[in-house]
Amino acid sequence: MNSVKVTYVLITSGERDCAWVQWNDPKAGGDGWTSFTPEPSFYGIGMGETRAVIIKAPSSHPLEVRLAAYHSDSAGVMHKNIAQL
């Protein structure tokens, strides 16, 4: 079993930015990624949450946790891997 424990998430977004944390969930449909919140941090609102979340995946699944961001003047969503297990 691959797993990662997330204890705290703090995201501060700018006026034209959206940001969120997601992981490649082997049970997710669509694009295969699951997010902590259904609504991202956007337009300077920010997100700070204490979490006791353990993300799990089968040992054969290369678990990745990443920060995703969208900037209103960019061509699409950008990603930065936080952890690749």
Distances (CA, A) of 55 to 11, 25, 62: 19, 9, 12
> Which residues fall within 8 angstroms of residue 67, CB to CB, at 6 or more apart?
11, 19, 20, 21, 79, 80, 82
Position 14 pLDDT exceeds 70: no
Q: Please tell me what DSSP assigns to residue 55.
A: E
pTM across the whole model:
0.69
Compute the mean pLDDT over every residue in the chain, rounded to the nearest whole number: 77
Examine the pLDDT at 85 and tell me if it is beyond 50: no
Q: Where are the domains of the chain?
A: 2-84
| pLDDT, average across residues 48-52 | 71
The string of pLDDT tens digits covering residues 31-41 is 888 887 766 67
In this prediction, residues 60-79 reach a mean pLDDT of 80
